[in-house]
Amino acid sequence: MSKYIVGIDIGGTKVKFGVLSIEGEILDKWEIDTDLNDNGAYIIEEVWSSILHHRLLTDPGSILGIGVGAPGFVDAQTGNVYEAVNIGWKDFELGEILREKCKLPVYVENDANIAALGENWRGAGNQANDLIVVTLGTGVGGGIIANGEILQGDNGTAGEIGHIVIDPQGYACNCGRTGCLDTVASATGIVRQALEELAHHPTGKLAVLYAEQGSLSTKDVFKLAEEGDQSCIRVIARITDMLGIALANAAAIINPSKILIGGGLSQAGSWFLTDIRAAFIKHSLARIGEITQIEYAQLGNDAGIIGAAYLVRKHLAIE
């Protein structure tokens, strides 16, 4: 009988699944909608049902183990999710509930951490010993690998790069503080800054586009910046500078060989990465800046399910 690892990446909109070989090859993948009813009370039941109905997994004996990435603050030792605001979980015993249901080894990590593990195992990290992965999307996520191990911290809150304060006089953050990187470099932050530019400079391509659409997206801002719109160029310049500051500060702590940029904004193009590199070098210690490679992540939406599978491989000491 063939043996498989199941990787699961739980998000606020979709739950992604992967059936993987022990070498990390994706044999099949699929997704279901995340059921947010009753504060996510039915998610685990639907996850297990989806696994059992998959053509490769009708016999639970074929599953070596299940790795799960979950949003929010996660205790990897217990598998508990202290809080996942987008789902509604609070003090949710994810690992224990799923273990009880499937009678299989289950390992749980924060979703940004499993993305980092996936990128390092099968992606652009190339099994680096010291690595920072930053995801730029609706929010700013981060995962840090130090001395070959994912950095978790005392209560599972390590690697929250999106909550490095880069402007104490800046925008209010959902975490309750002010000036976090998340408020500037996330998709939400980018659009907010573009609208502020529009208010101060109500002419040019940005103003025309906004008048036509009645809204703006990050794609609009990057496209107009490429076309030379000065308002959008200023927004992107501020983003890359703030990213440079945050990444330089994080790099000063772990001295990584690589920093990987993932998430939706990693589709912006090579010039965006070039600008981030320049800002990083500007703000970092010379000895760190000269050796740290900054690249785009490679695995896209598959990073989470691959990293979740790696959790199983590592814990079961599969060679």
Q: What is the pLDDT of residue 18?
A: 96
Query: Using alpha carbons only, what angle is made at residue 132 by residues 116 and 187, rounded to the nearest 5 degrees?
Result: 80
- The pLDDT, as a whole number, for residue 58 is 78
Angle of the 230-254 helix axis to the 187-200 helix axis, nearest 10? 140
Predicted local distance difference test score (pLDDT) of residue 1: 57
How is residue 58 written in tokens? 């009708």
pLDDT of res. 23:
92
- Cα gap 95→100, rounded to integer Å: 9
Question: Please, what are the averages of pLDDT over each run of 10 residues along the chain (319 residues)?
Answer: 89 92 94 93 93 83 92 89 87 94 93 94 95 91 93 88 94 92 94 93 89 92 94 95 97 96 87 96 96 95 95 84
CA distances from 269 to 25, 131, 141, 205, 262 (A): 27, 22, 20, 20, 12
First to last CA, the chain: 18
Helices (H), the chain: 43-52, 94-102, 111-122, 182-185, 187-200, 205-213, 218-226, 230-254, 270-283, 286-289, 303-315
Could you tell me whether strands 140-146 and 131-136 are parallel, antiparallel, or unpaired per DSSP bridges?
A: antiparallel
State residue 59's pLDDT score. Answer: 78
**Number of C-alpha atoms within 13 angstroms, CB side, residue 145?**
25
Domains in the chain with CATH codes:
4-118+301-315 (3.30.420.40), 127-297 (3.30.420.40)
> Which pLDDT does position 13 carry in this prediction?
86
Beta carbons of 8 and 16 less than 8 angstroms apart: yes
The pTM (predicted TM-score) of the whole model is 0.89
pLDDT at position 129 is 96
Q: pLDDT at position 145, please?
A: 96
